[in-house]
Structure 1
Amino acid sequence: MNEEQNLTHLSGSYVMKRLLSYLKYFKRKVAITFIVLLIATGADVLGPIVMKVFIDNYLTPRVFPVQPLVFLAVSFVGLYAISALFNYYQVLSFQKIALNIIQIMRVEVFAKVQHLGLRFFDQTPGGSLVSRITNDTETIKDLYVTVLSTIVNSTIMMIGIFAGMFFLDVRLALICFILMPFLIVLMWVYRTLSSKIYRVTRVKLSQLNAKLNESLQGMAMIQAMRQEKRLRNEFGQINHDHKTAMLKSVRLNSLMLRSAVYSVYLIGLMMILSFFGIQSFDNVVKIGVLYAFINYLDRFFDPINQIMQQLTIFQQAMVSAERVFGLLDDERMAPVQQGDSSPAVKEGRVEFRDVTFSYDGKTDVLKHISFTANPGETVALVGHTGSGKSSIINLLMRFYPIERGGVFIDGEPLTGFSDDELRNRIGLVLQDSFMFVGDVADNIRLSHNQITEEQVKEAAEFVQADKFIEKLPNQYHEPVGERGATFSSGQRQLLSFARTMAQNPKILVLDEATASVDTETEEAIQLALSKMRRGRTTIAIAHRLSTIQDADQILVLHRGEIVERGTHQELLQKGGLYFNMYQLQHGKGLENVSAAK
């Protein structure tokens, strides 16, 4: 799905207000930094006035008393030292505040992502999320580090310069004041044009990350299917679009940040020189005042230039903040407990009552699903790809909200259970077992600190994972790399079994646990599964029908509906869809079944 369609466009005032709200965590530091900034700016503004006094009172009349000149020299150097020292402090302080704010923001975004529903991840590329959490927050950091401090500093500097100008000559100050509307219009035009460009550049950067993430994850398939050229072309096209957007930004910056501002500066300079030129016809021009005004004009346009240059970062940060806040405000959350009853899973009876479900709100992938799995029973779900097997598991795990019908455990609605109770009492084993970076014991225990080292070993022994674990150099403390790449698929599956059994669940959910393992490992896994299922309600998705022949009930799904149900033998006797599926997998040995019919 196009990421631009998913973005919620927020007003600039709302985004700015929300960005500034993070400063509340550092009120005292911000106040101190602001005071230091005022002092540094004051020192900057007073410098030209000291020089003006020296020129007009001493240099022009050629009077050089030692004591006043020493005082002026010490004052000028002191003001410069105060400005340098205090500016250093305020820059460093703003940097620290900015880094702390970004730390808070990144944790907020990461925590939000952890609680978003799977519906969100179905519609959002993983690379785009990485871009928002890393690139976009990094851009926002630049806003706090440079933009806000520069704007505050420059604004205070301009106010101070105007105060100095009015102190020297009201008429000249008013002439410079006339230039302000032109500068304000210039900033408004730049911000309006640049916001559109930067929004495109951030989206294209997100798409670059998404394409890169997809390529890295699917590298084996890309090379096996000789897709290098296609992926390179697709990446190149996105990169070209990003470059085009960046070039538009460069052109706009070259025109608005340099040429336009410098033109206004030249107009101001000509107006001041013209004023002094006309005044010189009738009066003596004070060189010190002329020097101070030219100096102030340079200093006045220096913060203007800085603000205009920071508008580039400001616009990028505003667009990035809009993307980050859009993620923080996303309402596609994972379903949570409703009500305050907090029932407990005691027996493990699972019941689906007339459940109908759609991922997109248009096409139903499940239609009127009803069945009951009694405590200790195994219910198997079979059917062709897309028949709705995984959707039933997703609803039972409460990954998606139940829209029509209901799912019940021990007679209680699934929505009434707390997340802790549901996750601790339902054990999930997926076809592709996910391993976390850490060691073997960490992957079995996960974050359940109450699970002791002894219980970890007991869980591994229960599923026969201890046999290969004890052969590892560090046994239970053997490092596990990203996604457990150094372990075979069978070993990862056994570790996931041990992880599930360490929680001692009442309900077991299996998504074809033997689909991707070798025959030798499958025997060990089947034995482990048999032990795991004893005394537990088991819901199992099966592709290999031979693995669920002993199931208490087999549900055959077709296009989201249960078309057949019964035991293995009962379904074979019916000669329906299950019979045809079994015949495709086991063509031999069915003659007797056909004859019996």
Structure 2
Amino acid sequence: MNEHDTAGAVSRKSAFRRLIRYMKPHKKALAGAFTMLIIATAGDVLGPILAKVFIDDYLTPRVFDPLKLIVLIVSFILLYVIAALMHYFQLISFQKIALKIIQQLRVDVFGKVQHLGLAFFDQTPGGSLVSRITNDTEAIKDLYVSVLSTFVQSMTLLAGIFIGMFILDVKLALICLIIFPIIFILMQVYRRFSSKIYMRTRQKLSQLNAKLNESLQGMNIIQAMRQENRLRKEFGAINQQHFSAMMKSIRLNSLMLRPAVYALYLLVLMITLSFFGIQSFGAVIEVGVLYAFVNYLDQLFEPVNSMMMQLSRFQQALVSAVRVFELLDDKRQAPMKEGDGTPSIDKGMVEFQNVSFSYDGKTDILKNISFTAKPGETVALVGHTGSGKSSIINLLMRFYPIDRGKITIDGAPLQSFHDEELRRKVGLVLQDPFLFVGDVKSNIRLNHDYITDEQVIKAAEFVQADSFIEKLPRKYGEPIGERGAAMSSGQRQLLSFARTMALNPKILVLDEATASVDTETEEAIQEALQNMRKGRTTIAIAHRLSTIQDADHILVLHKGEIVERGTHQDLLELRGLYHKMYMLQKGDDLNHHLTLATRSGGAS
């Protein structure tokens, strides 16, 4: 999925409404925080009024009643202490709620990704996906932690300030109301220009992550093929585009935020001073009222400034929310169970009936594939790269939905099985085994509580993985780093064998399972593979034809079609594609052995 493909699929308005809905479970906590905010705001508003009373009623007429002054001073101090405490607690409450909301959102996004089909991951760069889960949710966190709380506090303070203004002077308060249409216009202009800039900024940041992820994943190839300069130039080009987008954002913020608001503040201050100046020609002006109004103006533009400064974060959060909700709304789910029945896999008979499949909906990768694998039989899939072998495995594992045709297990349609039944009864061993961060035991058990420690050890012994595990410093408790990088490819593959056998599956799927294993290790596990296949239906992809000579059925694929089928001997007698492949590999193996023998003779 291209970054631009889904842009606009979720509108900013709907994204904002959905963000607000995340606040519903926290209604009571929000009500408590808002109550504290109102109390704190009331303290901020009443402060200048008490100051006005002191100036006009005591300081100007020089009336100093000790008792009344003490009451006034104590009230003033208590007011600000209470306001400060309420500000502290309401800020903590809003922040706590915000963090809980973003915590839930991240869990939702991560959970969604776990259930997306492989078709999604085929079309989405890994770095781009990481950017959505981390950077975009971080930007949304700013919306809850900073933006919404700032807007709520600022709007509440503005309402309180204008109430105080109307108490002091109705006419001047009405005149000051003209700032609101101007502020609204400023916000709309800023929103219009900034939304496009922030969308581009997020896209470029996502592309940076994608390029970085690609580089880290392929670092050995990059260094081996001397691609460092090319990758650096490509990364630099994207980085420059991100820099240009950020500079546009900075220029817009520099113009539309604090300078514009400060100019508006000066305008309103001049209007206020002019109003009092004109009034002074015909009447006495209360200094306390003037002080309170100027004080309110200072307080008035602080929340306005805060809201304007938060607009940039607001726009970034909305853009990020659009991207996150597009991910949450993605329909490319992993194929799920269909129908009401609950069939079980007891025998393990697999049947493909006229199955055709296309990844892109245009070009068929598989064409009318039909075969049957009976319980206990081994069916081998061979063919050149791109012939469709892995696609057959992907469909059998239900990684992709079936386009046309039918796949059954023990006579029941593949889509009728529960995920738990299918994953437990169909064991998969891939060419490139994946190990998780943890230890040896956890990588064999994979958090399946029903697999005991004894079963873990038996599975390892069964595939002869115990021979190297017992030599490890901590044996089954030996730590494994990311992707098992510290282990050899053969050791990783043996652990993947043990992991599969611990489940005791009815159907065994081997996707070139011995390709990453050295010759010595391969010979050691061939016997284990023979044992694994006993009593199980086995479907194996093989490039080394020597490993599947005893298969009950060999299917030769070419351009998505089965062009030959039979036993090893049958296919050799046919002298077709399989025969050519076998003779080529036999010649390669002979040359390889001669080379080894020559080297050994030279060394001696």
TM-score above 0.5: yes
**C-alpha contact 2:2 2:123 (8 A) present in aligned 1:** no
Match of 1:72 in 2: 72
**Superposed counterparts of 1:493-572, under 5 Å:** 493-572=493-572
Amino acid at match of 2:431: Q
Structure 1 portions without partners, runs of 5+:
591-597
Match of 2:59 in 1: 59
Once the 2 structures are TM-superposed, how far is the Cα of residue 457 of structure 1 from its aligned partner?
Answer: 0.9
Match of 1:26 in 2: 26
Counterpart-to-counterpart distance in 2, 1:3 and 1:19: 22
Match of 2:274 in 1: 274
The structure-2 alpha-carbon separation of the partners of 1:364 and 1:61, relative to structure 1 and needing over 3 Å to count, comes to: same
Match of 1:448 in 2: 448
User: Cα deviation per residue 1:236-283 (whole Å; 9 max; x = unaligned)?
Assistant: 111111111111110010001022111211111111111111111111
Once the 2 structures are TM-superposed, how far is the Cα of residue 402 of structure 1 from its aligned partner?
Answer: 0.5
Once the 2 structures are TM-superposed, how far is the Cα of residue 7 of structure 1 from its aligned partner?
Answer: 3.9
Match of 2:102 in 1: 102
Amino acid at match of 2:380: A
Match of 2:119 in 1: 119
Counterpart-to-counterpart distance in 2, 1:485 and 1:398: 29
User: Cα deviation per residue 1:115-154 (whole Å; 9 max; x = unaligned)?
Assistant: 1000000011111121111111111111111111110000
Match of 2:478 in 1: 478
Match of 1:170 in 2: 170
Secondary structure class of the residue paired with 1:348: coil
The structure-2 alpha-carbon separation of the partners of 1:525 and 1:164, relative to structure 1 and needing over 3 Å to count, comes to: same
TM-score by length of structure 2 reads 0.96
Counterpart-to-counterpart distance in 2, 1:161 and 1:377: 83
**Superposed counterparts of 1:235-384, under 5 Å:** 235-384=235-384
Once the 2 structures are TM-superposed, how far is the Cα of residue 24 of structure 1 from its aligned partner?
Answer: 1.8
TM-score by length of structure 1 reads 0.97
1:463 and 2:458 correspond: no
Amino acid at match of 1:37: L
RMSD between aligned residues:
1.3
The structure-2 alpha-carbon separation of the partners of 1:588 and 1:186, relative to structure 1 and needing over 3 Å to count, comes to: closer
The structure-2 alpha-carbon separation of the partners of 1:589 and 1:79, relative to structure 1 and needing over 3 Å to count, comes to: closer
Once the 2 structures are TM-superposed, how far is the Cα of residue 202 of structure 1 from its aligned partner?
Answer: 1.2
Amino acid at match of 1:263: A
The structure-2 alpha-carbon separation of the partners of 1:16 and 1:6, relative to structure 1 and needing over 3 Å to count, comes to: closer
Counterpart-to-counterpart distance in 2, 1:552 and 1:12: 59
Instruction: Tell me the matched-pair count.
Output: 590
Deviates more, 1:55-64 or 1:178-187: 55-64
Secondary structure class of the residue paired with 2:361: coil
Once the 2 structures are TM-superposed, how far is the Cα of residue 458 of structure 1 from its aligned partner?
Answer: 0.8
User: Cα deviation per residue 1:52-98 (whole Å; 9 max; x = unaligned)?
Assistant: 11111112222222122222211222221111111111111111111
Amino acid at match of 1:321: A
Counterpart-to-counterpart distance in 2, 1:78 and 1:205: 49
Secondary structure class of the residue paired with 1:570: helix
Counterpart-to-counterpart distance in 2, 1:491 and 1:317: 46
Match of 1:390 in 2: 390
Counterpart-to-counterpart distance in 2, 1:406 and 1:189: 57
Amino acid at match of 1:287: V
Counterpart-to-counterpart distance in 2, 1:7 and 1:344: 43
Structure 2 portions without partners, runs of 5+:
591-604
Match of 2:148 in 1: 148
Match of 2:35 in 1: 35
Match of 2:437 in 1: 437
Once the 2 structures are TM-superposed, how far is the Cα of residue 491 of structure 1 from its aligned partner?
Answer: 0.9
Secondary structure class of the residue paired with 1:215: helix
**C-alpha contact 2:493 2:516 (8 A) present in aligned 1:** no
Counterpart-to-counterpart distance in 2, 1:340 and 1:479: 43
Counterpart-to-counterpart distance in 2, 1:242 and 1:589: 52
Counterpart-to-counterpart distance in 2, 1:108 and 1:180: 38
User: Cα deviation per residue 1:187-206 (whole Å; 9 max; x = unaligned)?
Assistant: 11111211111111111111
- Structure 1 stretches of 4+ with a deviation exceeding 4 A read none
Once the 2 structures are TM-superposed, how far is the Cα of residue 168 of structure 1 from its aligned partner?
Answer: 0.9
Once the 2 structures are TM-superposed, how far is the Cα of residue 568 of structure 1 from its aligned partner?
Answer: 1.1
Secondary structure class of the residue paired with 1:157: helix
Counterpart-to-counterpart distance in 1, 2:385 and 2:256: 57
Secondary structure class of the residue paired with 1:385: coil
Secondary structure class of the residue paired with 2:22: helix
Counterpart-to-counterpart distance in 2, 1:81 and 1:418: 62
Match of 2:206 in 1: 206
Deviates more, 1:257-266 or 1:408-417: 257-266
Match of 1:158 in 2: 158
Match of 2:408 in 1: 408
Secondary structure class of the residue paired with 1:15: helix
**C-alpha contact 2:6 2:326 (8 A) present in aligned 1:** no
Once the 2 structures are TM-superposed, how far is the Cα of residue 334 of structure 1 from its aligned partner?
Answer: 0.2
Deviates more, 1:419-428 or 1:514-523: 514-523
Counterpart-to-counterpart distance in 2, 1:436 and 1:179: 59
Counterpart-to-counterpart distance in 2, 1:431 and 1:512: 5
Counterpart-to-counterpart distance in 2, 1:11 and 1:177: 32
User: Cα deviation per residue 1:421-465 (whole Å; 9 max; x = unaligned)?
Assistant: 000000000001111111111111112111111111111111111
1:11 and 2:11 correspond: yes
**C-alpha contact 2:444 2:502 (8 A) present in aligned 1:** yes
Q: Percent identity over the alignment?
A: 70
Once the 2 structures are TM-superposed, how far is the Cα of residue 2 of structure 1 from its aligned partner?
Answer: 2.9
Counterpart-to-counterpart distance in 2, 1:81 and 1:178: 33
Once the 2 structures are TM-superposed, how far is the Cα of residue 182 of structure 1 from its aligned partner?
Answer: 0.8
Secondary structure class of the residue paired with 1:242: helix
Match of 1:574 in 2: 574
User: Cα deviation per residue 1:19-68 (whole Å; 9 max; x = unaligned)?
Assistant: 11122222221111000000000100111111111111112222222122
The structure-2 alpha-carbon separation of the partners of 1:588 and 1:313, relative to structure 1 and needing over 3 Å to count, comes to: closer
1:85 and 2:82 correspond: no
Amino acid at match of 2:206: S
Deviates more, 1:47-56 or 1:411-420: 47-56
Match of 1:424 in 2: 424
Once the 2 structures are TM-superposed, how far is the Cα of residue 494 of structure 1 from its aligned partner?
Answer: 0.9
Deviates more, 1:389-398 or 1:259-268: 259-268
Amino acid at match of 1:265: Y
User: Cα deviation per residue 1:455-485 (whole Å; 9 max; x = unaligned)?
Assistant: 1111111111111111111111111111111
Counterpart-to-counterpart distance in 1, 2:539 and 2:82: 74
Counterpart-to-counterpart distance in 2, 1:352 and 1:175: 80
Amino acid at match of 1:168: L
Once the 2 structures are TM-superposed, how far is the Cα of residue 211 of structure 1 from its aligned partner?
Answer: 1.2
Once the 2 structures are TM-superposed, how far is the Cα of residue 13 of structure 1 from its aligned partner?
Answer: 2.3
Once the 2 structures are TM-superposed, how far is the Cα of residue 8 of structure 1 from its aligned partner?
Answer: 4.8
Amino acid at match of 1:135: N
Counterpart-to-counterpart distance in 1, 2:3 and 2:123: 9
Counterpart-to-counterpart distance in 1, 2:7 and 2:269: 46
Match of 1:595 in 2: none
Counterpart-to-counterpart distance in 1, 2:91 and 2:215: 41
